[in-house]
């Protein structure tokens, strides 16, 4: 699976902006503005989550993640909190999914949390300055595209563990533990 790139993120930003602003224009003549915004946020959020899952190398838990996202979004939709809280929940879900599927330590996940805050600030600023759904979505997803610049693991030093007797002992210990676990599982059946 190929890792996402910044230019892919820009393409996602253009697509989400065009689709979101078009749907907002069409649906706002039929539905109240608050309902349209919630529907767009949820729909674009689901599309972005599916994009992230499709670009992740991790294969496990995808159905569970989509089911969890659907459950949380359904509950928050039913509760009808203020629009900003609805946005924050969706943003938190995006952060959680990216943290689980793209990062292997806490520091990159925290950097991604900061990036999410920055993207929300950019979207609010664009909305306040222009009132344009297109520009708000564009600014939001353009900043989101920068998540590819966050390394999967941040550490002070990237040393390789030398292959010596100590590392072999740890491997042998882990190997024996795995064999014991498999034996226990097979004796249960």
d(CA 128, CA 176): 61
Output the pTM of the full model: 0.77
How far apart are the C-alpha atoms of 147 and 145, rounded to whole Å? 5
| Residue 1 confidence (pLDDT) | 57
The pLDDT score that the predictor gives to residue 165 is: 53
- Which tens digits make up the pLDDT trace of 62-107? 999 999 999 999 999 999 999 999 999 999 999 999 999 999 889 9
DSSP tag of 160: P
- As given in the structure block, the two tokens for residue 125 are 């600023």
| Distance between CA atoms of residues 25 and 23, nearest Å | 5
The conformation of residue 104, written as its DSSP 8-state character, comes to S
30-69 residue pLDDT tens: 999 889 999 999 999 999 999 999 998 888 899 999 999 9
Could you tell me if 86 and 45 are in contact, meaning their C-beta atoms sit under 8 angstroms apart? Answer: no
Kindly report the average pLDDT of the chain as a whole number: 88
- The domain segmentation of the chain, as residue ranges, is 6-149, 159-189
Higher-pLDDT residue of 150 and 155 is 150
Q: What is the CA radius of gyration of the chain?
A: 21
């Amino acid at each position: 699976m190929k890792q996402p790139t910044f230019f892919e993120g820009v393409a996602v930003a253009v697509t989400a902006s065009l689709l979101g602003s078009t749907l907002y224009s069409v649906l706002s003549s039929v539905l109240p503005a608050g309902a349209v915004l919630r529907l767009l946020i949820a729909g674009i959020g689901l599309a972005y989550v599916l994009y992230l899952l499709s670009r992740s190398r991790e294969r496990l838990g995808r159905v569970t993640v989509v089911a969890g996202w659907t459950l949380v979004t359904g509950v928050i939709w039913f509760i009808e909190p203020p629009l900003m809280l609805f946005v924050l929940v969706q943003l938190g879900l995006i952060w959680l999914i990216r943290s689980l599927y793209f990062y292997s330590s806490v520091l990159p996940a925290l950097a991604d949390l900061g990036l999410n805050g920055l993207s929300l600030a950019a979207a609010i600023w664009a909305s306040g300055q222009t009132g344009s759904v297109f520009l708000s979505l564009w600014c939001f997803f353009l900043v989101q595209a920068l998540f590819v610049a966050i390394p999967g693991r941040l550490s002070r030093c990237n040393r390789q563990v030398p292959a010596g007797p100590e590392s072999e002992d740890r491997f042998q210990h882990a190997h024996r533990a795995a064999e014991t676990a498999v034996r226990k599982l097979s004796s249960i059946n």
